[in-house]
Amino acid sequence: EEPNPKLFKDATYQNIFEDLNSSEINEVLDYLYSQSELKLVKPDKANLTTNYIIGLELHVPNKSQALKFLDGNGREIPPAREAKAYLFLPQNDPPVVEEYIVAPIPRPTRYYHNPRRIKDIPYRVRQFSNTEMVVAVNLLRKEVATKVENMLKRSYGASFICKKNCLTFTASAVSSAFSKERKLWITSLYQLEFATLHPVGFQILINMDGINASNWKIEKLWYANKMFSSVEELVRKYENNEIPKALIRPPKASPGETSVPGSLNIRGKRFPDVPTSGPKQYEPQGHRYRVRNQHVDYLQWEFNFRMSYASGIQLYDIKFQNERIMYELSMQEIIVIYAGATPHGLYAQLSDSAFGIGNRAHGMMPGVDCPEHATFVDSVIYNEDNLTPKTYPNAICVFEHNTALPLRRHRSGSSRSGFFNSGLVDYVLILRTMFVMFNYDYIIDFVFHQNGAIDVKVHSTGFILSSLYYHEEGAYGFRVSESSIAPVHHHLFSFKADMDILGTKNRYMTLDTEVENRTRKWYENGEYHTQLTFKRNLKSTEQKAAYKYNFNTPKYHLIINNDKLNKYSEPRGYRILGKGFSKQILPENHGFERTITWSRYQMCVTKRKDSEDTSSSMYSMFDSGDPVVDFVSYINDNENIVDEDLVAWLSLGMHHIPHTEDVPNTATTGNEMSISFLPFNYFTEDPSMGSRDAVRVDSKIKSKGQKADVTIERYGTPHKFSCLAKQYDFQKIVNNASVLFQQP
């Protein structure tokens, strides 16, 4: 099971980016709870007015300290290990959210304000929490559910107070794009698989402003396509037949089927006719990589990974052939902007970090979500759901994959150029995680190729959101079921790439493809000739480097080191290639757009600062009036970016107009978005030329008509294996479902 240890480095690697383990987290918790001035209570005792810790994660060291250690002589002391705690402090005046750094680990002795957080964080813009959901649900139960029980049952054949035929709900934040207060639009759904496909059109606006729960109130209600100011008004008008009445019933299975449309059970025309396994992958000689302490070694690659509670997956110190290519490559934000004719759709402009992106990765299924032969890695997360840190199994997986595509190949079959065929399969190492945001599942892959290239890939799947079908929603979407319409929406993803090309002193240059229109004295009759050429375009400042994609001006984007020239005097560098850029068409500075200013640009290159560590924050759901992280300010000071430590901020996206085939789940086909980092004049030749995975066939003939001498060169790599490597033992899941699910 353990791979050939000769393939790997010594196990004593110290990963300064490794996430806090359970005992470290417990130490930090104990320390914070013992600081009486913080007045912290434990989550099980917390409410809207109590100070408490909502989450906690590693505080990644400042880069200068990290580099000192990483690039030191091996005798450097690693930077102090620190934690970052997210605290709700409603007891403060004014109430705030605080991010405290707790240090050192182990045995913390001090805490201090996160120096990377420049602005104060008003309590109103805080991320979602259990404490407020408890209040909101109680309010709904008390002020709505019982009062409308009769109306719901008659209108929908279901209600919130139920054993079967249940309604459930989901919420969209009314972000500060729309309101200076903290509000939530709740929409009601049949509690079926899956609820977001079965809205009934009953929506409720809760005003959750302030820390006094008794001031919270039901502000509006939407029923049968009309707005009401109070539950009483709605119920009175309903009972007095002053309004049209909804009449909807829960969907049923189609004749001959056992499952409800929209559920994830087999349905429709079955195939294959006879159940038969599709192809599988295996590792004939075991793993060719090693995962230890959140550090991965794979052939010429190595890197560290971690899961940020707030912003999701992060890679650090990515090296190829022992040279750092990237200091950091990390997810920053996941956004969906919906639309609709009724409040829930119209207000649904969602910033997923408000839920803690790292919170949402766990339980990937072997053989489906990742191959059976993958290495599954747990994450350890502390959040308000528990008193102690929680281990989430299968949060991340790492596997080597045979893409069945050559990375390179050439076949030559002529006397003039020889008879040979040389190729190398594009074997890749993939680090994968999936974030499930209630209904949607986002698949994030980091892909490492043998030629020094890295891809980041994003796919969306899972369930779409939908609105109750009626005429006016037709402007926003297509019907996807008898009773629902799925609105157009915009997915947006923010990534950070802190490339370090042979050091931190880098430049951003584009190669702009142009048309040259000129004559040459030897050219045909002195006519002019048009042909391709390209210009080097050095971007001197941050504003010049704020890039809005333009199809009509093709260009290459390079991060180069002007002091490190290749053999031919060209600066060594990497190319950044985005596939899956998407135009943000909503107007600038209007509403929610103000807090996602990164989405205006497909790529920005800024001068790196520890204090500009993210493009977004957990507060972006509610802070567009005055964004806590104001991304556009990173470029507004228009700093010099020549020979500086540069960071590229990349925005991917996709307009999604759902259709019937998005039910039950959106297919990943057609929705891949990616960013590739490709060596560009960095190596003297393709570094995959050293790969023993290559195969070369030569065929030589001595004289015409004779049988050729054929050799197949595999550079010592075995290729014939008689029996399978291990397969995943699925009984493990049957015995212990906690690998996939955390249950009460």
Contacting residues toward Ca ion, per CB under 5 A = 498, 500, 542, 634, 637, 639, 645-646
Site residues (CB under 8 A) for a second copy, limited to 320-359: 321, 337-340, 343, 346
Candidates 22-30, 50-58, 156-164, 654-662: pick the segment binding a second copy (CB under 8 A).
654-662
Give strand pairing partners of 657. Answer: none
Residue among 44, 45, 71, 715 that touches a second copy (CB under 8 A): 715
Under the binding rule (CB under 8 A), the answer on residue 565 touching a second copy is no
Residue among 319, 566, 630, 642 that touches a second copy (CB under 8 A): 566
Tell me which of Cu ion, Ca ion, a second copy, none is bound by residue 33, counting a contact when its beta carbon lies within the kind-specific cut-off of 5 to 8 angstroms: none
Half-sphere exposure of 257 (CA within 13 A, CB side): 16
Helix (H) or strand (E) holding 735: helix 731-735
Under the binding rule (CB under 8 A), the answer on residue 36 touching a second copy is no
- Pick the catalytic residue: 31, 440, 634, 682? 440
To the query of whether residue 352 is one of the catalytic residues in this protein, the response is yes
Tell me which of a second copy, Cu ion, Ca ion, none is bound by residue 645, counting a contact when its beta carbon lies within the kind-specific cut-off of 5 to 8 angstroms: Ca ion
Tell me which of a second copy, Ca ion, Cu ion, none is bound by residue 498, counting a contact when its beta carbon lies within the kind-specific cut-off of 5 to 8 angstroms: Ca ion
| 3-state SS record for 408-442 | EEEEEEECCCEEEEEEEEEEEEEEEEEEEECCEEE
Q: DSSP letter at 593?
A: G
Q: Which is nearer to Cu ion, 339 or 725 (CB)?
A: 339
Distance CA 320, CA 224 (A): 60
Distance CA 204, CA 137 (A): 12
CA angle at residue 519 from 514 to 525, to 5 degrees?
140
Q: How far is the CB of 485 from Cu ion (least distance, A)?
A: 14
Distance CA 680, CA 96 (A): 47
Tell me which of Ca ion, a second copy, Cu ion, none is bound by residue 702, counting a contact when its beta carbon lies within the kind-specific cut-off of 5 to 8 angstroms: none
DSSP H helices, 336-415, are 343-347
Tell me which of a second copy, Cu ion, Ca ion, none is bound by residue 639, counting a contact when its beta carbon lies within the kind-specific cut-off of 5 to 8 angstroms: Ca ion
* Contact string (CB under 8 A) for a second copy, positions 218-257, x = contact: --x------x------------------------------
Strands 51-59, 40-41: parallel, antiparallel or unpaired by DSSP?
parallel
Q: Which is nearer to Cu ion, 300 or 439 (CB)?
A: 439
Residue among 441, 500, 542, 645 that touches a second copy (CB under 8 A): 441
Under the binding rule (CB under 8 A), the answer on residue 273 touching a second copy is yes
Distance CA 459, CA 490 (A): 14
Under the binding rule (CB under 8 A), the answer on residue 283 touching a second copy is yes
Residue among 87, 140, 424, 486 that touches a second copy (CB under 8 A): 424
Distance CA 324, CA 330 (A): 16
Q: How far is the CB of 461 from Ca ion (least distance, A)?
A: 31
Under the binding rule (CB under 8 A), the answer on residue 370 touching a second copy is yes
Site residues (CB under 8 A) for a second copy, limited to 166-205: 168, 178-179, 191, 193-195
Distance CA 65, CA 61 (A): 7
Best CA proximity match to 603, nearest among 578, 633, 586: 578
Under the binding rule (CB under 8 A), the answer on residue 164 touching a second copy is no
Q: Which is nearer to a second copy, 433 or 617 (CB)?
A: 433
For 9-21, b/e burial (b = at least 16 CB within 10 A) is: eeeeeebbbbbbe
Binding site for Cu ion (CB under 5 A): 656
Helix (H) or strand (E) holding 67: helix 63-70
Placement of tokens 């917390």 in the chain: 46
Q: How far is the CB of 457 from a second copy (least distance, A)?
A: 9
Placement of tokens 């620190």 in the chain: 82
Under the binding rule (CB under 8 A), the answer on residue 415 touching a second copy is yes
Under the binding rule (CB under 8 A), the answer on residue 390 touching a second copy is no
Distance CA 330, CA 119 (A): 23
Site residues (CB under 8 A) for a second copy, limited to 504-563: 511, 513-517, 520, 522-524, 529-534, 549-554, 556
Distance CA 160, CA 589 (A): 39
- Pick the catalytic residue: 352, 441, 500, 623? 352
Best CA proximity match to 645, nearest among 61, 17, 64, 69: 64
To the query of whether residue 44 is one of the catalytic residues in this protein, the response is no
Under the binding rule (CB under 8 A), the answer on residue 699 touching a second copy is yes
Helix (H) or strand (E) holding 239: helix 231-239
Q: Which residues are catalytic?
A: 352, 440
